[in-house]
Amino acid sequence: MQQITSAHDIQRVVLAARREGKRIGVVPTMGYLHDGHASLMRAARAACDIVIATIFVNPLQFAPSEDFTRYPRDIERDRQIAEEAGCNILFTPTSEEMYPEGFKTTISVGGVSAPFEGIFRPTHFNGVATVVTKLFILTQPDKAFFGQKDYQQCLVVKKLVRDLAMPVEVVMCPTQRESDGLAMSSRNMYLSAEERSRATILYAALQAAQQFIMQGNRTRLSIEAVLRDVLLSVHDITIDYAAAADSEDLSQPDEFAPQQGIVLLVAARIGSTRLIDNLLVR
């Protein structure tokens, strides 16, 4: 596996691969990799000739009060995981490489970025859209692989690609979970043992609401009440949102149609750690 740090070098390598007719898959990450990330790389390996994983803790998607400086980093561990997952190139640029002096361009995606995370982290998706656009320009992928755990982010990236006519297929891969259902996340390391035990309530709430829908209940507020009731069954939890929305555009009708896709979305703090999760109900 080759590690590249400069924008010029990654473009040179990608151009050579393109000339050879190679199909390129990219997996954008912020590092501190786990098996969720590795599953994306394995999916890219199965679909593409060259797999590029990017590791960049993007300062533009962190608000001043968020955890940019303490976000976990371990590049040697990441290298091993990426190589074992079949990655060919690890692109690890610095902030100075991605955002050189005088950088003033940002990208805003409307619509699906506004609710949920857009309310609680209002600058977040501008940072995501900006860095993803630059990474797509640098790596020129045929396919880009993202995890369903960040469901709203997937919709934002899909809209970005569609609106700007980028020649990239965005592939959303299933959420990878621990044996007790907790969605894999780099931020899980912040949890104490006791908090880690309580954090499984997010998936339990999603499953309860899913079952409620499968029994024929389609009223949004009643579905959201199930989510909240289960979440509040544990102590020391702060709910940012517990919502049911249309799975395509995140609209929130009073009543879901019988064949309408529904996504259940939760964001909550267990102690001081903010966790998100979701579940699709077809």
Amino acid at 169: E
Token pair for 255? 């009543």
pTM over 0.85: yes
Domain identity same for 133 and 254: no
Cα 95 to the center of its chain, rounded Å: 20
* Rounded Cα gap, residues 89 and 6, in angstroms: 12
**Distance between CA atoms of 48 and 247, rounded to whole angstroms?**
28
**151 and 227 share one domain:** no
* The residue type at 94: T
The overall average pLDDT reported for the chain is 97
Q: Do 140 and 238 share a domain, yes or no?
A: no
Element (H, E) at 4: strand 2-4
For residues 192 and 236, state if they share a domain.
Answer: yes
Q: What pLDDT is recorded for position 220? A: 98
Task: Examine residue 269 and state whether it is found in any structural domain, yes or no.
Answer: yes
Answer yes or no: do 146 and 259 share one domain. Answer: no
163 and 196 share one domain: no
SS3 at position 126:
helix
CATH number of the domain bearing residue 27: 3.40.50.620
pLDDT value at residue 58: 98
For residue 178, tell me if it sits in a domain.
no
Q: Active-site residues: which are they?
A: 37
Based on the fold, state whether residues 27 and 148 are members of the same structural domain: yes
Provide the pLDDT for residue 69. Answer: 93
> pLDDT of 77-103, one tens digit each?
999 999 999 999 999 999 999 999 999
Q: Is the pLDDT of residue 132 over 90?
A: yes
Q: Rounded to the nearest 10 degrees, how much is the dihedral formed by the CA atoms of 44, 8, 33, 199? A: -100
* Reported confidence tier of residue 119, pLDDT bands at 50, 70, 90: very high
Q: Identify which of 103, 153, 108 has the alpha carbon closest to the alpha carbon of residue 126.
A: 108
Domain boundary among 146, 173, 200: 173
Q: What is the pLDDT of residue 13?
A: 98
pLDDT tens digit sequence for 20-63? 999 999 999 999 999 999 999 999 999 999 999 999 999 999 99
Task: Please tell me the predicted confidence (pLDDT) of residue 127.
Answer: 98
Per-residue pLDDT, averaged over 168-183, amounts to: 98
Q: Is the pLDDT of residue 171 over 90?
A: yes
What range defines the domain where residue 108 resides?
2-173
Per-residue pLDDT averaged across 213-232, rounded? 98
Quick one: pLDDT band at residue 243, thresholds 50, 70, 90?
Answer: very high
**Buried (b) or exposed (e) across 63-88, using 16+ Cβ within 10 A?**
eeeeeeeebeeeeeebbebbeebbbb
CATH for 202: 3.30.1300.10
Helices (H) and strands (E) in the chain, counts: 10, 9
Sheet holding 169-173, edge to edge: 2-4, 89-91, 50-55, 24-29, 143-147, 169-173
Q: What is the mean pLDDT of residues 162-179?
A: 98
DSSP symbol at 255: B
Q: What is the CA radius of gyration of the chain?
A: 19
The pLDDT of residue 282 is 82
- Cα(247)–Cα(137) distance, rounded to whole angstroms? 28
Q: Are 144 and 26 in contact (CB under 8 A)?
A: yes
Is 138 inside a domain boundary? yes
- Please indicate, yes or no, if residue 272 is contained in any of the structural domains: yes
**179 part of a folded domain:** no
* Alpha carbons 204 and 231: distance in angstroms, whole number: 8
- HEC string of 184-225? CCHHHHHCCHHHHHHCCHHHHHHHHHHHHHHCCCCEHHHHHH
Task: Report the percent of the chain where pLDDT is more than 90.
Answer: 99
pLDDT of residue 154 exceeding 90 = yes
Our measurement of the distance from residue 50's CA atom to the centroid of its chain's CA atoms, rounded to an integer in Å, reads: 22
**Stretch 237-259: mean pLDDT:** 97
218 and 85 housed in the same domain: no
